[in-house]
Amino acid sequence: MSDYRRNGKRKRSREPRDRYLPVPRQLRENLLSIADSPLAVPAQQAQEIAKLLSDNFDDVQIKNEFFDLLVRLVLEQPLKIPFAAAVILYGNDSNPEITTEALQRAGERLQEAFNAGHWRDVKLLVRFLACLQRLFEGEGVIPLLDKLFDCAIDLQEANENDVVGLELVKIILLTLPYAMGYAENSIVPQALEILKKTEIVASMKLPIEDLLESYTGSTDEKPVHYLSLIRLLQGQMRNEEARGWAFAILPPFPKYISQQVDGQDAMVTAPALHPFPSLDIASPVNAGPNPLFPEAYFSLYADQEVETVPKTDDIAASLIRDTIVDTINILDFNRDAVATLLVNLDCYWHSETFIKRGMPFEKIRLGEIEGSKSTWKPEDMVLDGIFSQVFTLPNPERKIVYYHSVITETCKKAPGAVAPSLGRAIRFLFRNLDVMDLELVSRFLDWFAHHLSNFDYRWKWQEWVEDLVRSDLHPKKAFIIAAIDKEIRLSFGKRIKKTIEEEFRYLITEGKEKEVPDFKYADDRTPYAAEGALLQSQIRKKAPDAEIQETLNVIHAKASEAGVDDVLIPSTDAFVTCICYIGSVSFSHLISIVDRCKERLLAIGQESEAARRQIIASIVAYWKDQPGNAINIIDKLLNYTILTPISVIQWALADHLGAGEALSESWTYEMVAKTVAKVTNRVRQIVAARLQEGLTQEQIDSIDETLIKEREGMRSYFKFIDDAANVVALGINDAFIEKETNGELSAEDAAVIKAWGKRWQVVFRRKAQVEETVVGEQAVDARVRLLPVQMETDPKVESQNGNGAMDGVTVEELE
């Protein structure tokens, strides 16, 4: 009856859908989706794509579109490089011109990338060529690797602190496994010769590496020692030699797949061989648009009792990590696609590389697994890779919040598999807070609060209840306090109080639950209460400046009678407190009031440096229960030049320092770090302007003069911070000595405060050293000498925004 309508008439049958896809679309979809499914056989997929391409190779449009896509796939999805190469391998059997075209396209793009100093593109293209090793005449990729090494040595001889040479050696060491794994004939002798040479560079340690360690403190306290990526790769390749150069994780591709012709097996012929693309290495080498630093290998799961990721002495650790990190950093414009690729990580390696997805950790620990030779969890490997970027020193490639979003997306796509691994990562990080680099603690704090905000602020706080008895100065107790403050910043106090355990609720005081802090001048017992209340009314009602000044003069007179040395201090306190109170409705409301009062605020700073610092003190005092708001306001006043960087730094590390307790407050670190980032970004913008082409001599002189002034100012700020931290680290500041003498500081707290001083020193000495390598005289002069090379390749000159992201700048914007 379903064939008839209600009126008794027969339904018209539907025409079958035409499922035929045009050839270009078939090639595109098949290539982009290769190896994405755990049920697929990548070798067969590659053969089918190769056959379809071969059958339509005479179509110029199809050919151009396919090879454009192939190169883009190599550069955008590193996990699929071996599969892209497999298409060419099988295509070569039926039509050698496919290989010729692929090599020409890859060679041209490789030359462009090398000339521009785009080292990741160089690495990925060379890897693609290495996967085609069996198709080359002679030694294939080996001569190119030798040439890259010679270039690295030249760079090292010219400058022993050169990092571009290290980058070239890294490319060599990450290419060899693919070349050896996919070679037709053994290239072991050539590989051993290369490894013998790279040992020289890999054994070197640059001075800045001492400042790039993820964990500080004594050697015994560190959960993981510093692992230079170059030295690690060198050792891993030597270990692979002992395993017989197996490279067992690489996806296998049979040399030949049986093909049928008229029902009979076709005769198998030897593949056509091709010359390796040439690469011209210009001198001097373009270092690229972004500053390079030595890389360290960071892991949360490696070398532990239960092996859920490759050991650090296994080349698999570096090969898999490298593809994960590149995938994340390349596809930053599409975190959903990144998460999809990461969740499918096990599809892109040998089928026995990983254990089944979502395998419970306890089952692995107890050995209750069947049918798997591996204990490596793909979820652990993915999270290890993402966190390695969150905790990259000195700066990750992308904004840190981007990595937050990748973790969130990965959790959403595979919550059952990822969440338990994430919990283990959090516990590992919290357990080692005492010895973790302070900047990394800050990043962990930001991510932790942000992550909880995406999942209803749920966390097993009960696990940390034992740390509540510690002093507020202890790193773990300080982290708990800061994490709750961050959550309140992202939500509000009353809601967060409901999400945490009873034992933690005392940390959310009554003041933290208030959305609008109390106005201190509403209390008649407060000095200048009457004037403060009147001033608040005048500002709110937009009274004339003369009336406001009259009220301030009354405060000045009373302060003078009370023996106050600088009468601007109490009047500034009243004025700024009133602004904060009126503007507490919203940040935009506050900014509108600051705009109205900007001239008076500027005049305060010009008249008295102490009064300028009082602006900061008053803002922090008003928002003492929600310091995040104070930081945002101070940041905005820096933009308005109402405050100066040195005034913020001096207030935080002199007026507010105390015996050193301030160094344990996360918001104090955040305030100083943000201020320093503004300064360094300004200097980088000036350098970027200097490196633009077509400048007149007058412009060059003007920029150079500004650069010298701003650079010296930056150095003075770093020196002030270092001196202040050093005094605390040595325990020789007056407040520390006084409290220690009076017994107000226990021996344990005194030791903790000194440790905070050392941690601050490490962070800001590193930041200072990083800036010297980017904007110091030698660095800038070297870039200026390379201007002709840069003009030819036309890369964008960039400046750092303090969070790893880079923004272009022009002379006009600078002026």
435 lies in the same domain as 356: yes
Confidence of residue 161 (pLDDT cuts 50, 70, 90): confident
Identify whether the C-beta of residue 315 lies closer than 8 Å to the C-beta of residue 236.
yes
- For the segment 454-481, what is each residue's pLDDT rounded down to a tens digit? 999 999 999 999 999 999 999 999 999 9
What CA–CA distance (Å, rounded) separates 592 from 588?
6
Question: Counting beta carbons within 10 angstroms of the beta carbon of residue 325, is it exposed (0 to 12), middle (13 to 18) or buried (19 or more)?
Answer: buried
- Residue 247 domain-assigned? no
The pLDDT assigned to 804 comes to 39
677 lies in the same domain as 780: yes
Confidence of residue 158 (pLDDT cuts 50, 70, 90): confident
Q: What angle do CA 419, 425, 431 make, to 5 degrees?
A: 135
Strands 264-265 and 260-261: antiparallel
Confidence of residue 619 (pLDDT cuts 50, 70, 90): very high
Percent pLDDT > 70 in the chain is: 92
Return all residues near 620 (Cβ < 8 A) that are at least 6 apart: 627, 630, 656
79 lies in the same domain as 204: yes
- For 142-173, letters b (16+ CB in 10 Å) and e give bebbbebbebbbebbeeeeebbbbbbbbbbbb
**Cα atoms in the 13 Å half-sphere on the side-chain side of 463:** 10
Identify whether the C-beta of residue 90 lies closer than 8 Å to the C-beta of residue 106.
no
Phi, psi of 563, deg, nearest 5: 85, 20
- The CA–CA distances, whole Å, from 807 to 67, 397, 399 equal 32, 12, 12
Q: Which of 291, 318, 288, 297 is nearest to 397 (CA)?
A: 291
439 lies in the same domain as 331: yes
Confidence of residue 798 (pLDDT cuts 50, 70, 90): very low
Percent pLDDT > 90 in the chain is: 82
Mean pLDDT of 750-777: 96
Identify whether the C-beta of residue 787 lies closer than 8 Å to the C-beta of residue 671.
no
The pLDDT assigned to 809 comes to 46
- Residue 276 domain-assigned? no
The pLDDT assigned to 797 comes to 39
The pLDDT assigned to 735 comes to 95
- For the segment 629-655, what is each residue's pLDDT rounded down to a tens digit? 999 999 999 999 999 999 999 999 999
Average per-residue pLDDT for the chain = 91
Confidence of residue 800 (pLDDT cuts 50, 70, 90): very low
Please, where are the H alpha helices in 583-665?
587-607, 609-622, 627-639, 645-650
- For the segment 239-295, what is each residue's pLDDT rounded down to a tens digit? 999 999 999 999 999 875 555 445 555 555 678 999 999 999 887 788 888 889 999
Confidence of residue 159 (pLDDT cuts 50, 70, 90): confident
> Which CATH number goes with the domain that contains 378?
1.25.40.180
Identify whether the C-beta of residue 534 lies closer than 8 Å to the C-beta of residue 549.
no
The pLDDT assigned to 796 comes to 43
The pLDDT assigned to 373 comes to 84
In this prediction the pTM is: 0.91
Identify whether the C-beta of residue 473 lies closer than 8 Å to the C-beta of residue 749.
yes
- Residue 502 domain-assigned? no
481 lies in the same domain as 551: no
Please, where are the H alpha helices in 56-141?
60-76, 81-94, 96-116, 119-131
Mean pLDDT of 618-637: 97
What CA–CA distance (Å, rounded) separates 225 from 432?
13
Q: How many domains does the chain have?
A: 4
Identify whether the C-beta of residue 359 lies closer than 8 Å to the C-beta of residue 276.
no
- Residue 760 domain-assigned? yes
**Token pair for residue 213?**
């360690």
- Residue 346 domain-assigned? yes
The last residue of a domain, from among 179, 208, 223? 223
Domain interval for residue 791: 657-815
Q: Is the pLDDT of residue 805 over 50?
A: no
- For 603-625, letters b (16+ CB in 10 Å) and e give ebbeebebbbbbbbbbbbbbbeb
362 lies in the same domain as 328: yes
Q: Which of 117, 78, 76, 112 is nearest to 291 (CA)?
A: 117
What CA–CA distance (Å, rounded) separates 519 from 264?
92
- The CA–CA distances, whole Å, from 335 to 341, 378, 386, 402, 412 equal 10, 18, 12, 8, 12
Q: Which of 536, 517, 625 is nearest to 574 (CA)?
A: 536
- For the segment 413-444, what is each residue's pLDDT rounded down to a tens digit? 999 999 999 999 999 999 999 999 999 999 99
3-state secondary structure of 296: strand
Phi, psi of 524, deg, nearest 5: -60, -20
Confidence of residue 184 (pLDDT cuts 50, 70, 90): confident
Tell me which DSSP letter residue 461 carries. G
Low-confidence winner among 167-181, 372-386, 601-615, 795-809 (lowest mean pLDDT)? 795-809
The residue that leads in pLDDT, 6 or 165, is 165
590 lies in the same domain as 727: no
Q: Is the pLDDT of residue 14 over 80?
A: no
The last residue of a domain, from among 171, 194, 223? 223
Confidence of residue 12 (pLDDT cuts 50, 70, 90): low
Low-confidence winner among 137-141, 329-333, 505-509, 807-811 (lowest mean pLDDT)? 807-811
Mean pLDDT of 57-72: 96
Q: Is the pLDDT of residue 173 over 60?
A: yes
CA dihedral angle for residue 611, residue 614, residue 619, residue 624, rounded to 10 degrees: -170
- Residue 806 domain-assigned? yes
Neighbours of 63 (CB within 10 A): 18
**Token pair for residue 802?**
């303090």
Mean pLDDT of 100-107: 97
* Phi and psi based region of residue 247 (left: phi greater than 0; alpha: psi -120 to 50; beta: remaining): left
The pLDDT assigned to 254 comes to 86
Q: What angle do CA 109, 95, 89 make, to 5 degrees?
A: 60
325 lies in the same domain as 359: yes
DSSP per residue, 336-405: HHHHHHHHTGGGGS-TTSSPPTT--HHHHHTT---S-S----HHHHHHHHHHHHHT-SS--SS-HHHHHH
**Token pair for residue 587?**
């940040």
Confidence of residue 783 (pLDDT cuts 50, 70, 90): confident
Identify whether the C-beta of residue 541 lies closer than 8 Å to the C-beta of residue 564.
no
The pLDDT assigned to 765 comes to 97
351 lies in the same domain as 476: yes
Q: Which of 352, 438, 341, 435 is nearest to 385 (CA)?
A: 341
Tell me which DSSP letter residue 507 carries. G
564 lies in the same domain as 483: no
The last residue of a domain, from among 168, 196, 223? 223
Return all residues near 14 (Cβ < 8 A) that are at least 6 apart: none
- Residue 232 domain-assigned? no
36 lies in the same domain as 132: yes
Q: Is the pLDDT of residue 808 over 60?
A: no
3-state secondary structure of 639: helix
Identify whether the C-beta of residue 717 lies closer than 8 Å to the C-beta of residue 676.
yes
- Residue 376 domain-assigned? yes
What CA–CA distance (Å, rounded) separates 335 from 328?
8
Q: Is the pLDDT of residue 791 over 50?
A: no
DSSP per residue, 404-455: HHHHHHHHHHSHHHHHHHHHHHHHHHHHTGGGB-HHHHHHHHHHHHHHHHHT
328 lies in the same domain as 388: yes
